[in-house]
Structure 1
Amino acid sequence: MSSIKIYAPATVANVVCGFDIIGFALQDPNDEMYMRLSDKPGVTIRNLDDYNLPTEPEKNVAGAALLAMLEQLPPGTGFEVEIRKNIKPGSGIGSSAASAAGAVVGANALLDNKFSREDLVRFAMFGEKVASGVKHADNIAPCIYGGFTLIRSIFPLDIIPLQAPPLHVTVVHPQIEVRTSDARSILKQKVLLKDAIRQWGNIAGLVAGLTKGDYALIGRSLEDVIIEPVRSILIPGFDEVKQKCAEAGALGGGISGSGPSVFMLSESQSTAKQVEKVMAEVYTRIGIDFHTYVTTVNNGGARVELV
């Protein structure tokens, strides 16, 4: 392969109760990236959008991920990368993960798939550290593996792909920005034992519901008693959206990643569309611009094609 195009999907991380350990990939939207091997050693980045993100590799999430990969490659290896961000930075649907994961998936394709998917996650987490100051894989892993993934451990890295029934996803992105680093900084460092126990039960219930295809169990496990009560104050209209989406038939949902996007899971497309209508009504009434997506789970992850 000499020149390729990569489609790197948006992702939902945390999935309500699974802070930093559960995520899934979306069919839409996708970042678009173009890559080729270069005679110039290192990483050269060019932006194809108007977000004015850094092009210095060590300051760019895609660049940081590729620099980590280059440490495992012969001296003199180089990559040229062009990035078109269709996933708005700071949206809460894995914008930084799409860039980091897409870059290493593309580079691996150019290298005849030299590295395993687990290796790619490990490289891409260096990009997430640039974005948020912390290595985490709950966006990275589903972006690379597709579908739902459970991150049992970061050190050592242990990723478990989860089987899941067909699910429809509705996302509303209020046009405000919540920085991941800021959303992490407000979290409590200690939690009550009773809250931890309830959260463990919800995480186990969610995993069991997904693997058994039990929609009711999925729905009642989508409860967060630790993170959401703190972070929801950063998202105007959150409580109303959540309540009215439940009334419209959604299985459940909550903050996507660190926000401000809010996602809801539904069993059918018709319900997902009704949930979209409810979300739109809330944000129209409170006067905040927004964008919505009605999509499904992407079971393939980032994909590559020749150009």
Structure 2
Amino acid sequence: MKSIKIFAPATVANLSCGFDVLGCCLDNVGDEMVISITADPGVKITKIEGANLPMETHKNVAGVAVEAFLKAYGENIGVAIEIYKKIKAGSGIGSSAASSSGAVWAVNHLLGNPFTTHELVKFAMEGEKLASGNAHADNVAPALLGGFTLVRSYDPLDIIKLHSPEDLVMTVIHPQIEVKTSDSRSVIKHKVTLKKAIHQWGNLGGFVAGLFTEDYDLIGRSLDDVIIEPLRSILIPEFNNVKNAAIAKGALGSGISGSGPSIFALSKGMKVANDVATAIQDIYEKTGIDFDIHISKINSKGIKIIEETEYRK
């Protein structure tokens, strides 16, 4: 039996100007998973700690993602999955994506990498489809590839890994409230004005250019969402105050992480990121709402191996 223990990272998606197409990978926030190739055919979820999630394979995002992988692989092998959740479900920092991407990456590694990392994205997306009803890639792509990623196209799927400036640091506050992805998607309008679309296209292009040129001011100017954030922000207590406080403390920009309720602030340097954390913590301490704060550099590698073993009888 081959077994691997991995770190499956949290992610921040959308990044204001890139709804469903932009995402980045965090470095010190994530789940741990143990994936094993076993003698008994089929995919089994054998242990879950840290969250009340389904043990049934067809109801678990990791199980569904691995089943999609094995269908393409063409062999009915045995896979056992242990999940140690440290990313809270519904947090807006890619909890389901961590499980989906971590599981398929680990199985692929144990089988000698029959698929490229880019090819794994479509299998992990099946887990996202189960979780939210929409097979989006803006969380699973950065979890698998690391750093910042852009989904240029969904049909055909075309994922581009972007440059990650070393000085960028993410501060994320996660209010302990539930904002269902289905609810956050229900408030989105399906038609936008040409004026707003042009504004958003410019910001997306500016953000990508800012990453490659390491122009931090351009990155900050581009973190502006005129389409999604005005509608979703009403679901998140103190959103505007948190955003304004983060920018006042020097953050390049701030916005909703994924579908919320988490709020991200992107900064240049760890000192600014820590100052931002203190400022937004002060705001939420007055609300009576429990919260977590994460401060993380950008993880340019994605999923990481913690331990790998092979057992022989």
Same fold by TM-score greater than 0.5: yes
Instruction: Please identify, of 182-191 and 42-51, the stretch whose mean Cα deviation from structure 2 is larger.
Output: 42-51
SS in 1 for 2:72: coil
Task: State the AA in 2 paired with 1:105.
Answer: W
Alignment of 1:148-187 (within 5 A): 148-166=148-166, 167-187=168-188
Partner residue of 1:39? 39
Structure 2 residue 202 is matched with structure 1 residue 201: yes
Which is further off, 21-30 or 39-48?
39-48
1-structure distance, mates of 2:270, 2:184: 31
Query: 1:40 touches 1:76 (CA, 8 Å); kept in 2?
Result: no
CA distance in 1, matches of 2:164, 2:81: 34
The 2-side partners of 1:132 and 1:246 are apart by 31
User: What secondary structure is seen at the aligned counterpart in 2 of 1:131?
Assistant: helix
In structure 1, the residue matched to 2:304 is 303
What one-letter code is carried by the residue in structure 1 that aligns with 2:97? A
Report what 1:272 is aligned to: 273
Asked whether the equivalents of residues 93 and 257 of structure 1 are also in contact (C-alpha less than 8 Å), the reply is yes
Q: Runs of 5+ in structure 1 lacking a partner?
A: none
CA distance in 2, matches of 1:179, 1:46: 27
Superposition misfits of 4+ residues, deviation over 2 angstroms: 73-76
How far is the alpha carbon of 1:281 from its aligned partner? 0.5
Query: What's 1:288 paired with?
Result: 289
Q: Is the 8 A contact 1:42 1:70 kept in 2?
A: no
Separation of aligned partners in 1, 2:126 and 2:200: 28
Shift of 1:47: 3.2
**Runs (5+) with no aligned partner, structure 2:** none
Q: TM-score, normalised by structure 1?
A: 0.98
What is aligned with 1:219? 220
Q: CA deviation at 1:50?
A: 4.1
Alpha-carbon distance between aligned partners in 1 of 2:5 and 2:114, rounded to the nearest angstrom: 18
Task: Map Cα deviations across residues 98-142 of structure 1 (whole Å, 9 max, x no partner).
Answer: 000000000001101111112210100000000110111010000
Structure 2: distance between partners of 1:154 and 1:242: 31
Could you tell me whether the CA contact under 8 Å between 2:118 and 2:145 is conserved in 1?
no
User: How many positions carry a matched residue from both structures?
Assistant: 307
SS in 2 for 1:48: strand
Deviations, residues 208-247 of structure 1 (Å, cap 9, x unaligned): 1111100000001000000000110110000000011111
Q: Which letter maps to 1:241?
A: V
**Map of 1:24-35 to 2, 5 A cutoff?**
24-35=24-35
Q: For residues 172 and 223 of structure 1, what CA distance do their matches in structure 2 show?
A: 19
**Cα distance in 1 between the residues matched to 2:158 and 2:182:** 24
Alpha carbons 2:2, 2:38 under 8 Å: kept: no
Residue of structure 2 equivalent to 1:250: 251
Shift of 1:179: 1.4
- Tell me which residue corresponds to 1:81: 81
Q: Distance in 2 between matches of 1:97 and 1:75?
A: 24
Please tell me whether the aligned partners of residues 50 and 86 of structure 2 are also in contact (alpha carbons under 8 angstroms): no
How far residue 63 of structure 1 moved from its aligned partner, in angstroms, is 0.7
Q: Identity of paired residues, percent?
A: 55
What's the C-alpha RMSD, in Å, of the aligned pairs? 1.1
46-55 vs 273-282, greater mean Cα deviation:
46-55
